[in-house]
Structure 1
Amino acid sequence: MLLVYGGALNNGHRARRLYGELYPTRRLPSHDTFANTYRRLRETGKLQHREPGVRGRPLDVAVDERILVAIDDDPDDGH
């Protein structure tokens, strides 16, 4: 994606058109996606928007704590 964006001289509309020509069977990103991906890489050094494996709601530490306490308190846990 970034190579296509560079090849389109950092023009999102051109990049989208070129990407569609090069990869006709792939989902076509919006023109903003090219610039946003480039900016994110420049600012953070990462391509991913989120940490790998993190999806949906943010983690709830209180829930995790209750689960760990329940596991520790379970007499049938096999320890």
Structure 2
Amino acid sequence: MTPPEIRQVIINILERIAPDEDLSDLDDSVAFREQMELDSMDFLDIVMELRKLYRVQIPESDYEQLASMNSTVEYLTPILKDTEV
């Protein structure tokens, strides 16, 4: 998967988790929690969706690397590079 494809996967997950949020003006460099009303359970839902969809195991110690879209895509790019969309 390419970084733009990974970004779209994250957008799709966010749309399911927070259907009332407007993601059209999402700033990729700002933490999700600063832009959206996400609680810790919503964040865990993102991690669980990635696990379910792509069998990605994200250790709890790495959760801070999933704070913003940019950091999430950067973290997932080497992990998902050989994965088909």
TM-score tier, shorter chain, comes to: 0.3 to 0.5
Larger radius of gyration: 1
- Structure of higher RCO (CA pairs closer than 8 Å, 6+ residues apart): 2
Calculate the TM-score normalised by the size of structure 1.
Answer: 0.32
Structure with bigger helix share is 2
